Structure 1
Amino acid sequence: MKKTYTSFVVILIALIAVNVASRSIYKRFDLTKDSRYTVSKETEKILEQAYKPIIIDVFLDGELPGEFRKLKLETGQFLEEMAAIHPNLKYDFINPIENTSQQEADQITAQLAKSGVKGAVATIQEGGKSTNVTIFPYALVLYDGKTTAVPLLKTVARASTEERVNSSIQQLEYQFADGLRKASQEKTKTVAFLRDSGTLSDLKIRDFIQGVQEYYRAAPFGIEFVTTSDSIQPQQVLESLNKFDLVVDPKPTVAFSETKKYILDQYLMQGGKLLLAADPIVIENDSLSNEEAKAYPLPRKLNLDDMLFKYGLRLNNGLVKDMNHGPIALASGQGRNTQYEAYAWPYYPISKTSLDTSATAQFITKNLEDVKFEYTGTIDTLKNGIKKTILLSTSDRTQVITLPAVVSLNEIGQEINPETYNRSNLPLAVLAEGSFTSAYKNRVKPINLKGNLDQGKDAAIVLIADGDIMKNQVDRGQAQELGYDMRTGQLYGNKEFLMNTINYLLDDTGLIKLRNKNINVPFLNTEKVIDEKFKWQAINVVLPLLFVAGFGFVFLWLRKRKYA
């Protein structure tokens, strides 16, 4: 009896010890092949730095299509993992327009739109019937009084809803980490947008600027004013420019003065970073708006050849035509009856990768949507000891037209001769990084600058052969999303590529790693489900009954045999 009592006490103490230990020792195991439920170190760092409570409202609730139910499930599971790291993270799934009248739903939708939450129409298919419902594939992150909208549904060009949801699940960690970072972290890096040399207007790069401002402090900057005002000293301009971590030059159209080139050169020698989208060809779609529907592209003289050559780059003004291209939208009709139709246009090459398999190239371009170019030139890389990475290139079916030439809308609909597209994989965007040699070494300097350097510190340049890659379309004075073609309804990856590039140049690589995360999500085949619905219902309902009946029959037979 005493031995039994002792054993009982030991077991009871062991159970209490295990219970106490389980409260203090907590461990989760992710057994998935793609580690989809493992929060990355980058996200953990953001959560650890967010020391205040985090409230997340996810607008994925109520009646949802099957794909969005999967997105809701994956979102909930990931938020559970985040909550396990941050004890003050609370989340909830809500339907903002549930049990509301149409008028109330419209008011709520308008209010959410002001916060960056946009409604979308989805289709529920059940029993061969289709029903349209309004959903809000967003989450709102509230931190320290600041609210940030987190899009959960990624826009993918020419993709089905299932493919979009699959891509969105891959981006879940990135989207939440990105939203939390915007709400919780101060901006430390600075970006200068050059507003001289005939660059694109503020309205035409507004969405790009706003995208940069979500992560960094951005400001306009002018260098050429040194040549037009005696009150501005070049030394002061260089010192002010050196305070910026990155300089962006969006489509200069006027030749650079030697003063501007020298200031930029010395900025690079000091370890600066430069993103230059230079258009070597003079042609716009407006040039085709004449009775002949023809344009005559010419080389654009930017006075950059000697400078780029010293850095190991050459900007070519041969006009690219590519078999892998986007459409051009042309108007028909007048006034309110105007309609736009899309036509294949080989002067709009699209690209999302290159033959460069280096880690840097894959780092920036992995999981990228098609990037659209318009009337672009190409880039040559020259050997000079500087590391070059080709980020984007043409397809393996490319033609380069020597200028001057003629571009005509009459080419639309004409049969393409593949034999004339005999060039391949020509660089369109190149990253050069390392210790550059000054373009003004052993040359007469245009101005006097203190501390002139002939050999620079580690720096980086990204050269893009098309300035329009940064340009957003404008509708009634409102800037559209960068990469969105409002005439054809297609959304290209221009903004994503540029933001990846800027993140890399500013050593802000954590978010790129999250954006490149791969998760394979299996979906049911909807057509197969409908076709084989009865079969699987029969298997799941009838088979268990047959099994129970068979077991009962065998049991009764054995019992009768035993007691017969």
Structure 2
Amino acid sequence: MPRQLATLATLAALLVVFVAVNMLSAVGLRGARLDLTAERLHTLTDGARAIARDIEEPIDLTLYTTDQVVVDNPAYRALAKRVREIIGEFAAESRGKIRFKVVSPEPWSDEERQVQDAGVEIRPINQKGDVLILGLVGSNTTGGTEVIPRFDPGSEQLLEYDIAKLIYTLKTPVKRTIGVMASIGSGGFDPRTMRPTPPWQTLDLLGKFFERETIPETADRIPDGVDILLVVHPKDLSETALYAIDQFVMRGGRLLVFVDPLCFFDPGNPRDQFAALTGADKASNLDRLLNAWGVEVTNDKVVGDRLYAASQPIRKDGRLVPAQWLPLLGLRREALSRNDEVSRNLEPAIAQVFLAGAIRRKDDAQGPRLTITPILTSSDESGLMEKMGLTDPNTYDQLLDTFAEDTGGHAIAARLTGPINSAFPGGPPAPAQAPPEPAAAPPAGHLKESRVPANIILVADVDMLSDQMQVDLSAQSVIPMQNGNASFLVGAIANLAGSPELLSIRPRGAARPFDRVEKIRRDAAREFREKERKAQSRLDEATRSLQTAIDEDKVKVGEDGRIDLTERQKERVAELRKTVSEADRELRAVKRDQNRAVEQLGSRLKFINIALMPALVALLAVGLGAYRAAQRRAERARSA
């Protein structure tokens, strides 16, 4: 009996301790968590914490949500929980400067109408009148408001950035001004289709982050209020416009340039057949300035890469088959500079480029030269390809046989820094119609050298900004924003604008590429091409042998119109059929082995996840139990 009472007392004491620990942890450890995820998905980045801690005036954040509808939808239930957690962490870091509340408006109420007026999206989900609301409204003490109309499960990896951007905008209401000089992507009127063309989403996105001012390509001066100048696809800029850009940089303006040796999505001039063949009318450059500053971009060649080449369908023998597009690159991980803020925070998202040029030093430049720091770089399996004929992707499969790799990678995007001299040492260019004048001293307002070290980001690809590059082309349906191109553009401008906190918040939780599977496919494709060449060689030999037999023995036609073959000709036909059958069997075997290798990899992963890991845990538990049992026996033996 005393033993039973002692046991009950021990259990009661344990229960009291358990309840006490839970109560104390609920009070003392509120908000504490241990984040063991690989990307630390549940921990604010340093940049996000810096934004929250730097708030001087109170900011009110209101999350509007239809609780019951969200609860009934598993994807939105998890998303709503994640949004609350992130905002809660921002509020905790702000030391009371962020006041956060959640509002669930009643259906058909005035509050629901106010939600809609505030800019939060209300989405009907059925015919009963139920709606889904999940949006955020923020306001500051000066009357400024910012809204995230809706949160979507497909953009969960950008949650921290979106919320941080809203808070940053409210605490820093004055937006930086970006000037945009673009020959493509800004929207307008297409004379070929006689229809208006919408702006590219990536360029249209800039208005949400910055004050945007359009700069005409004929400008003779960049306005003083412009902080960053974005130049996209500069084609045949006048000397006056080039001088305006030059002096903008000399005054300390920040420059982001996208040029392209062959812009696939530039419609070009369809009437100029030679230009369409060579791609001359689809090219752009800023050589007049860059060459003077010690930098050049290849104009006649583009970068191809076996390692980063995307696998996309092409038409072959009347069917769509996957093939590596050497000029279409998905740059990830090793391609991203870990020493530059623009690319360091892109991972695990990828930057996708198409028919990009290579950035390199121009050794014969006079005067100070810019320092080139690569941001996006091709792999060691890359090389330069002549751009002529590359506008037809259906020919890309043939390029794999003749592609030659270089030594080392090629810079596709780079940061250019350092003091420089003006590319116009004699001052502004004379008007086109003005008669030539004798050389004179530059005018008083002309800057011959940069006031501060230049800070320029140069990208040798324009296609990456197009809407067509914001989708997964290999998918059965259009899947938007599967790469980091838009994030790269906004991040580059944010960096040049001097807001590193926002830039340091990287997308997290995005789908990771299956590197092992891609390697299997690349190896299989290489083996397939090698066997295809050998099979084609045998087919050619068998065909020549049959043709020789036909030429020498002459083909006889019977009275019924049937062709009578000699025994020699029949043997050659049989050999040709056998060769065709063997070649087809070998090529099919390569594809079959590829699929089998992928399936075996999947089976191994399933075995590891389903059987091996539980078995290891069980084995560890058994071992731990045996160890404790041995310890207890040893203690009893010592006490005896």
Q: TM-score range by the shorter chain?
A: 0.5 to 0.7
Q: Which of 372, 381, 385 is residue 352 of structure 2 equivalent to?
A: 372
CA contact (8 A) 2:178 2:210 kept: yes
Aligned to 1:522: none
Aligned to 2:237: 256
CA contact (8 A) 1:356 1:389 kept: no
**Distance in 1 between the 2:396 and 2:341 partners?**
34
Aligned to 2:174: 187
Cα distance, 1:38 vs. partner? Answer: 5.7
Cα distance, 1:471 vs. partner? Answer: 2.2
The residue type paired with residue 80 of structure 1 is G
Cα distance, 1:173 vs. partner? Answer: 3.1
Q: Which of 64, 78, 94 is residue 57 of structure 1 equivalent to?
A: 64
CA contact (8 A) 2:296 2:362 kept: yes
**How do 1:535-554 residues align onto structure 2 when only pairs under 5 Å count?**
none
Q: 1:120–1:373: structure 2 CA closer, same or farther, 3 Å change rule?
A: farther
The answer to whether 1:465 aligns with 2:460 is: yes
1:381-423, Cα deviation, whole Å (9 max, x unpaired):
3575533221112233224223544654442555833863445
Aligned to 1:305: 287
Aligned to 2:87: 79
Aligned to 1:148: 147
More displaced, 208-217 or 396-405?
A: 396-405
SS of equivalent to 1:320? strand
Aligned to 1:209: 203
Report the structure, 1 or 2, having the larger helix content: 2
The residue type paired with residue 459 of structure 2 is I
1:428-455, Cα deviation, whole Å (9 max, x unpaired):
1111123222112367854765421222
Q: 1:363–1:117: structure 2 CA closer, same or farther, 3 Å change rule?
A: farther
**How do 1:296-375 residues align onto structure 2 when only pairs under 5 Å count?**
296-299=277-280, 304-317=286-299, 318-323=301-306, 324-326=308-310, 344-352=324-332, 357=337, 359-361=339-341, 364-367=344-347, 369-375=349-355
Aligned to 1:435: 419
**Distance in 2 between the 1:351 and 1:371 partners?**
5
Aligned to 2:258: 277
The residue type paired with residue 319 of structure 1 is V
The residue type paired with residue 72 of structure 2 is E
Q: 1:117–1:219: structure 2 CA closer, same or farther, 3 Å change rule?
A: farther
CA contact (8 A) 2:119 2:149 kept: no
The answer to whether 1:451 aligns with 2:450 is: no
Aligned to 2:542: none
**How do 1:168-247 residues align onto structure 2 when only pairs under 5 Å count?**
168=157, 171-182=158-169, 185-195=172-182, 201=187, 203=197, 205-224=199-218, 234=220, 237-238=221-222, 240=223, 242-247=224-229
Q: Which of 381, 397, 421 is residue 381 of structure 2 equivalent to?
A: 397
CA contact (8 A) 1:297 1:404 kept: yes
The residue type paired with residue 311 of structure 1 is W
SS of equivalent to 1:281? coil
SS of equivalent to 1:359? coil
The residue type paired with residue 208 of structure 1 is T
**Distance in 2 between the 1:411 and 1:82 partners?**
52
The share of aligned pairs that are identical, in percent, is: 17
TM-score normalised to structure 1 length:
0.63
Cα distance, 1:260 vs. partner? Answer: 1.6
Q: 1:358–1:43: structure 2 CA closer, same or farther, 3 Å change rule?
A: closer
SS of equivalent to 1:466? coil
**Distance in 2 between the 1:147 and 1:341 partners?**
47
Q: 1:385–1:268: structure 2 CA closer, same or farther, 3 Å change rule?
A: same
**Distance in 1 between the 2:327 and 2:606 partners?**
39
Cα distance, 1:345 vs. partner? Answer: 2.9
The residue type paired with residue 417 of structure 1 is D
**Distance in 1 between the 2:446 and 2:87 partners?**
53
**Distance in 1 between the 2:348 and 2:199 partners?**
21
Q: 1:297–1:351: structure 2 CA closer, same or farther, 3 Å change rule?
A: farther
Q: 1:31–1:245: structure 2 CA closer, same or farther, 3 Å change rule?
A: same
Cα distance, 1:46 vs. partner? Answer: 4.7
SS of equivalent to 2:504? helix
**How do 1:22-61 residues align onto structure 2 when only pairs under 5 Å count?**
32=35, 36-37=42-43, 40=46, 42-43=48-49, 45-46=51-52, 48-58=55-65, 61=70
**Distance in 2 between the 1:187 and 1:515 partners?**
23
The answer to whether 1:267 aligns with 2:248 is: yes
RMSD: 5.1
Larger-gyration structure (1/2): 2
**Distance in 2 between the 1:113 and 1:313 partners?**
49
CA contact (8 A) 1:148 1:182 kept: no
The residue type paired with residue 57 of structure 1 is Y
Cα distance, 1:498 vs. partner? Answer: 0.5
**Distance in 2 between the 1:347 and 1:248 partners?**
25
TM-score normalised to structure 2 length:
0.56
Cα distance, 1:62 vs. partner? Answer: 0.8
**Distance in 1 between the 2:212 and 2:610 partners?**
56
The residue type paired with residue 180 of structure 1 is I
Question: How many pairs are equivalent?
Answer: 443
More displaced, 175-184 or 271-280?
A: 175-184
The residue type paired with residue 360 of structure 1 is D
**Distance in 2 between the 1:401 and 1:450 partners?**
46
Report the structure, 1 or 2, having the larger strand content: 1
Q: Which of 492, 497, 520 is residue 488 of structure 2 equivalent to?
A: 497
